[in-house]
Structure formats: structure tokens, C-alpha cells
Structure 1
């Protein structure tokens, strides 16, 4: 299984914590550092100063007495991209937002951000094309190509947030729309001529069957020259159209298309003729 494409979602965002959740998270973090003899004094001082702001400084006891009036919004970073420059954009200290107000900060979590995060979790089947003839074909013999209909169907991932009075979700869906065939040599003809096989009746390409030998495949390739002692590298790339739906959003919303391909070795032999 492969990621949907090269596009990457936000590396950081802000999400809500209840007063109790934020207090526990902060106190746990403080205790872990303050009670660890291996931690340097500057680290202990830093977490202590952070704690004091919300416990006994600018705020009192993490605003627990206002727990029913709002929530804390805290920067969160993608754990796989913690050190990326993009993950450092969310550098605002935790801030209080009253119920019903919109956080005045870029990257505050929304259904769209959840959809973008879900995009990164979509996994697609490997793009291995079935060929007939398989692996070894002949010069000037049409080779049929198709994808397993059971595998190549829409794939969806849902991301949800239900915390501190915020209840939103988004579902990102990838749908296969076409297969691009690159024969690996200019000495070949593709079917169709563009090399791009669209989905027809829910499938890409058409399986070869007895009785189709004299027909032109709706998706395939015809090699015009032998591969000699080697092979041609046939590359098959599926384009996946991506969209999302989410809380409070009307209809499907687009995300960048994804492409994923693999290369297969194809041996092409000359048709041997016997002279008498």
C-alpha cells in the first residue's frame, strides 16, 4: 500500500483542550521534567515558567473556574514532521477562547484541516497491471492491460475531533479515474493512443478472454521491436481524484489529485517464422 501522493498536509495546527485536560497535560509535563535529575536546569526553569503563566500568573488555576465558558487552544505538531520548518509555524502560546468565538489564529483546526490530515493517511493499492500475454509478449502483438476491479475502488479515511465543545469531522476519499501506460520505449503503440486509459463502467481496462485475439484492447500496448536480451520497463500510473466532505460544508470539496505508479519488466520477442 502506498501514500496517495506527493502533497503534504499541514505540519502543525491548533486544537482545543478543556481546562481540566490542559491542566493535567501541563502538570504532567512539568512533573516529568522537574523530577528528572538528568534534565538541565534551564529545561526545568523553562517548564516552570510556562506552568506559572497558567497556574498562578496571567491566568489562575488554568481557568478551571471558567471551564463551562471556553477552552484552551494548543499548538499540535505532526509527530512525523516535528523538526520540519513548517511545524514551527504554530509557535503561539496556548490561548483561551470563549465558547462560540472563532480562534484568531492561522491553522486553527477546521473540517478542512482534518480533511488534509486524513489525506496523508489514505493508503492505496500497489499499481500492478495485469497483462495478457503476461511478462513475455511478441512484436506486433497487442498486449491487453487492466487493473483488478476488486482492489481499485474508492478509498476513504475519516478524521474527527470531539473535544472541549468542538465536534467536527471530515472524510477524505480517493477515487481512481485513469491509468497511464508508458511502454518504456518509443518503439511501441499504446491503446488508446494517448496511453491514458479511463475508467469505463467502474473498471480500468478490460480483461483478456478467449475470442478477443483479433480485437484492439481498450487499454494496452503493442511493441514494435524486440527487447533483445533485456526487458522494457513498462510504467503504469494511476491518477486518483481526491475530495472531502465535512461538518458544516456543503457538497464535495477538492484536494490535489494523487498519482502513484509502478514499473514492470516486459520481455518482447520476435515472432519466429519457419521457412520450408
Structure 2
């Protein structure tokens, strides 16, 4: 293996393997596990497993969940960022460990020393850091690129292509892609668990031409849900909250009418639509529903039900704000048949 090729492969692996330094191992929270993040420009970017942790504060235990998609097609959560990754001692320890890599293996013989020399040149010999910044132990961290595990295949994931760089404690990096509360809030957007949008209809099963079909969703599921994203020990955190605001109905055919006419059923007191009470006349218009004007024949119509969620975020260290509305929906097959009449 050519040493320059080995360098690219090994240095990329180097910091990925060391993605969760021991210094952070005992800083726990009620969170989901950290996720492995790999990738980078031409496969050579040094990346780390993100230490961002998330906790869900909403009541979604009984709900099947999905992830929101942005209503703004021009906006997506960040694909990568830079975050605190290594202490000076962790950099030093890792470089020393790599000097033994490849010993006794013909294909990799000498690669460890080559990688070690490269890293020492950068982090020990003053180009640009001296002695791994050991004199600053406890006074800052080396920040490294981390890739959003939900978006590791996005082209934007290659934007964080800088080598790990030093940031003094309590200082804000001048790097535009450095993690901030707002970046954490946008990441939390990707982690929001929202309930499934499987609607209930009356009449159940096959519906009839020219008779209203009532539509509603389980009131208990549609409440605010919040996700807090944080980097333990850094003082950086943000909470993103999703609140349901409306249900959109698309009947799956132009031969239909919706209630209301806009097809947008507002959410009031966590309620989306109203269950049809027993004894309600069949031709009564529902507050939320659909009326098919033509039979579906031997097939069915693909009714789409989509809930729109209003998204906001807050932080204890900076002013929060709004993020683009999110949407999550589901399709249901609806069979529609003609009303049978009996002639006497």
C-alpha cells in the first residue's frame, strides 16, 4: 500500500475510532445512545462520532412514531458541524498508540510510524500546535468534524473538511459550521418523534358515493412533543418543540369534496376532527371529512392524511426562535361503492 494512501485511510480512521474519548465516558444523561458518524470529503476528512445526546420530553410512549419532513423544500437540518472532541492528552495518547500500527504486517509495515510522524508534525512540532497543547490541558478542547447520522449521505455532509482545531475554554469558535444552540435545535428537529397519522373514518370499511365520511385522529396522541439536544459538559443545549396545528386531507381523486372545503382540518384542544356519534343522520356534514362523488370501482382511492406541526426552539444560553413547519402523513386505501337501491 502506498504510504500516502495509507495516511488518508488511517488518519480518517484514527479519529473515528477515538470518537468517544474516555474523558466523556462518564458524563451520562437520560438520552438515546450517541450515533456513529462517518464520512467526509473524498473519504479523507477526519470525523468523529457525535457526542450530541437527545432526550424526549413529550408523551409519545403509546404512539407509533415517524420523523418530520420540512414544509420548506429549501431547508434541511444540518448535515455536519464541528464539536468538542479531544483533550490534549487524548490526542497525545492516540498518536502514540498509532505508532505501533502495522508492525509485523507486510502490507502495513511502517504505516503506523508514517501516520504518527504526520500527526506529530501537526500537533506536537508547532505546525500549528506544540506538544499537543498539553500546557492547556483542562483549558479547552480540540474540535473536530461530526456528521449528522441522519444525513450522512447528503452531499452537504462533506462541507466539514477541516482537521481538528483548538478552541480555548468558554470561547466561541469563529468557524461558521461550529456547533451552536441553534445547530443543536436543528438537529433535534430530525429527532422529533411524532405519532402516526392513521385516521379513523366513519362509516368504517367501504364508504358510499355522495354520503359524507367522517374523519378524526386519536386525541390522546396529538400533543406537543419536545426533544432536547445537548453536548454534555459543554454548556451547549437546545430544546425543539413540535405542536400539531392542522390535518390536511387529499382524497386521492378529483371526484370528491372535503370538509372543510380547503381540506385543512384545524386542531383544537388536541382534537383533530370529531368522532361521529351514534344516531347521527348519514347525510350530516362532518367538521372534518370527505365525500366521494364517484365509485372506486374494483379498486380504491389513495387518501392522504398529513399533519402539519409548528416548530419552535429555546435555549438557556441564547434567544430561540422558529424553525420551518414539519409534516408527517400516511396513505390509506378507501373503497367507495354506489348506494344500492331496491325498486318495487
Instruction: Output the TM-score relative to the length of structure 1.
Output: 0.88
Tell me, in whole angstroms, the C-alpha distance in 1 between the residues paired with 2:140 and 2:171: 9
1:124/1:72 CA distance change after superposition, 3 Å: same
After alignment, is 98-107 or 263-272 more displaced? 98-107
Structure 1 residue 174 corresponds to structure 2 residue 242: yes
Unmatched runs of 5 consecutive residues or more in structure 1 = none
Aligned to 1:138: 208
When the two structures are aligned, how many residues end up with a matched partner? 272
Equivalent residues of 1:27, 1:51 under 8 A apart: no
Structure 2 unpaired stretches of 5+: 1-64
Query: What is the SS of the residue equivalent to 1:120?
Result: helix
Do the aligned residues in 1 keep the contact of 2:81 with 2:147 (CA within 8 Å)? yes
CA contact (8 A) 1:231 1:265 kept: yes
Deviation of residue 247 (structure 1)? 2.7
The match for 2:9 is none
TM-aligned CA distance change 1:83 to 1:187, over 3 Å = closer
Deviation at 1:45, TM superposition (A): 2.7
- CA–CA distance in 2 between the matches of 1:128 and 1:247? 36
CA RMSD in angstroms, aligned pairs only: 2.5
Counterpart position of 1:45: 114
Task: After superposition, give the CA deviation of every residue in 1:57-92 in whole Å (9 maximum; x if it has no partner).
Answer: 433332122124332222222345446432222122
Are the aligned partners of 2:199 and 2:305 in contact in 1 as well (CA < 8 Å)? yes
Q: 1:52-67 residue pairs with structure 2 within 5 A?
A: 52-58=121-127, 59-67=129-137
Matches within 5 A, 1:100-115: 100-115=170-185
Aligned to 1:200: 268
- C-alpha distance in 1 between matches for 2:290 and 2:100: 63
Q: Tell me the distance in 2 between the aligned counterparts of 1:5 and 1:127.
A: 14
Give the match for residue 322 of structure 2: 254
Q: Structure 1 pair 107/137, CA: closer, same or farther in 2 (3 Å)?
A: same
Comparing 126-135 and 6-15, the one that deviates more: 6-15
Deviations for 1:143-181, whole angstroms, at most 9, x for unmatched residues?
Answer: 100111122222221111133xx2111111222111111
- Structure having the larger proportion of residues in strand: 1
Q: Deviations over 1:194-249 (max 9, x none)?
A: 01101122211111111333532110011112212211111111111111111323
Residue correspondence of structure 1 range 206-221 to structure 2 within 5 A: 206-213=274-281, 215-221=284-290
Structure 1 residue 233 and structure 2 residue 302: aligned?
yes
Of 327, 331, 340, the residue aligned with 1:263 is: 331
Q: Please, which moves more after superposition, 177-186 or 118-127? A: 118-127
Give the one of 302, 312, 335 matched to 1:243. 312
